[in-house]
Amino acid sequence: MSSSLADEKAATRQVPDRLRNPLQRFLASWELLLLGVAVAVFVLNSFASPYFLDPWNLSDATFNFTEKALIAFAMALLIISGEIDLSVASIIALASTAMGFAVQLGAETPLLIMIGLGVGLLCGAFNGALVTGLGLPSIVVTIGTMSLFRGISYIVLGDQAYTGYPSDFAFFGQGYVWWVISFEFLLFAVMAILFAILLHKTNFGRAVYVVGNNPVGALISGIRVPRVKFALFLLTGLMSGVAAICLTSRLGATRPSIAFGWELEVVTMVVLGGVNILGGSGTIPGVVIAAFVMGMVTFGFGLLNVPGIVMSIFIGLLLIGVIALPRLAGRLLAARRG
């Protein structure tokens, strides 16, 4: 008996590379579920309004999410790494204010772009330095800078608004590259691909996951954890700067209340996309689908004339819901097993 077992042992101890093939993994994924939700919302919207399926209306609907999604891509990486940035909307305010200020001094579009991106980077660097340099928790740091950055805008602007942006500046938020495809939507698509490659195909992306799952283990494996985190804060700041350019261009004006409350919508988008709020897991395709879902829901509410306050209640419930859902599902499964 024991000799036959010994033979069997030698033959069967090959560990396969993968337990499930890519199709099986896709069928069990959050992304697929979310895709189902997206289709459902799409169908509901087309019933709610006969105008929804018009290409130009669909194109308009994308503006509900493109700017937020640009930040959400970077935020996804940051949350996967175990950090968060709640100051993103305030970075938009500060960047937009800086651009508006420059316009008053006669700055042209190229300079405005540089200012928008530069302010974003500086704010990101400031957050990153506080978190990695002083070892402070990012949630505390960025709640602080959330007030700080927007506070500066209020001091500079009061109840005024900056207007008078150069006419060619309008392209970033109002221009179309081809037929109904807006510049913003193209930017969204390109960034989605770039971020997906960065997170899923590069060594840097791998480091993001490692840091989020076990920062001590990451350090011991030779990953320069503070550097990775600093880079992610920079990236989030930069993308907030990009969003500031698009939004300012679309509105054609800067008020200190610009993008107010967006940080919550961005975080909701990321978490709805399947990123674990505690860090360690999540995908860019998930965030992309979540962006569509949130954009279409907002648009649908608009079609139904639902007031804005209901929308924010909805966002709040959605955020709580998607964070609670995995836990509830786990309990239900455990109860069924027990």
Partner 1 sequence: MLANTQGIENVHPPVTQDQKPVLSLQGISKSFPGVKALSEVSLELYPGEVTALVGENGAGKSTIVKVLTGIYQPEEGEIAISGVPVTFPTAQDAGKAGVTAIHQETVLFDELSVAENIFIGHAPKTRFGLIDKKEMRQRARDLLDRIGASIDPSVLLKELGIANKHLVAIARALSIDARIVIMDEPTASLSHKEIEETYELVERLKAEGKAILFISHKFDEIFRIADRYTVFRDGQMVGAGKIRDVSEPDLVRLMVGRSVDQVFPDRKPNRGPEVLRVVGYSHPTEFEDIGFSLRKGEILGFYGLVGAGRSEFMQALFGITRPSKGAIRIDNEIAVIRSPSEAIRHGIVYVPEDRGKQGAIKGLPIFQNVSLPSLKNTSKNGFLRLAEEFRLTRDYTQRLDLRAAALDQDIGELSGGNQQKVIIAKWLATQPRVIILDEPTKGIDIGSKAAVHEFMAELAAQGLAVVMVSSEIPEVLGMSDRVIVMREGRIAAEFEGDDLTPERLVRAAAGISEVAQ
Comparing CB distances to partner 1, the nearer of 53 and 197 is 197
Told to check if 135 binds partner 1 by CB under 8 A, we report no
For partner 1, the binding residue among 136, 214, 264, 321 (CB under 8 A) is 214
For partner 1, the binding residue among 185, 196, 281, 314 (CB under 8 A) is 281
For partner 1, the binding residue among 204, 261, 317, 320 (CB under 8 A) is 204
* Shortest distance, position 30 Cβ to partner 1, whole Å: 16
The residue type found at 120 is G
Told to check if 5 binds partner 1 by CB under 8 A, we report yes
What is the crossing angle of helices 88-104 and 109-128, to 10°?
150
Do residues 176 and 183 touch, judged by C-beta distance below 8 A? yes
What gap in Å lies between CA 73 and CA 199, rounded to an integer?
10
For partner 1, the binding residue among 69, 92, 223, 291 (CB under 8 A) is 223
Output the CA–CA distances (angstroms, integers) from residue 230 to 118, 131, 279, in the order listed: 16, 8, 16
Binding mask 32-71 toward partner 1 (x if CB under 8 A, else -) reads ----------------------------------------
Q: In 3D, which of 181, 160, 155 has the Cα closest to residue 62?
A: 181
Told to check if 331 binds partner 1 by CB under 8 A, we report no
Sign of CA dihedral 255, 261, 266, 269: negative
Told to check if 29 binds partner 1 by CB under 8 A, we report no
Comparing CB distances to partner 1, the nearer of 163 and 202 is 202
**279 backbone φψ class: left, alpha, beta (φ>0; ψ -120 to 50):** left
* Shortest distance, position 22 Cβ to partner 1, whole Å: 11
Cross-strand bridge partners of residue 162: 254
Told to check if 327 binds partner 1 by CB under 8 A, we report no
What gap in Å lies between CA 178 and CA 277, rounded to an integer?
37
Told to check if 260 binds partner 1 by CB under 8 A, we report no
Told to check if 203 binds partner 1 by CB under 8 A, we report yes
Told to check if 159 binds partner 1 by CB under 8 A, we report no
* Shortest distance, position 220 Cβ to partner 1, whole Å: 5
Q: At CA 262, angle to CA 111 and CA 265, rounded to 5?
A: 135
For partner 1, the binding residue among 69, 92, 112, 218 (CB under 8 A) is 218
What gap in Å lies between CA 38 and CA 35, rounded to an integer?
5
For partner 1, the binding residue among 110, 166, 201, 260 (CB under 8 A) is 201
Q: What is the DSSP letter of 131?
A: I
Q: Is 310 exposed, middle or buried (0-12, 13-18, 19+ CB in 10 A)?
A: exposed
Told to check if 23 binds partner 1 by CB under 8 A, we report no
Residues that bind partner 1 in the complex, under the rule CB under 8 A: 2, 5-6, 9, 13, 15-19, 201-206, 209-210, 213-214, 216-224, 280-281, 334, 337-338
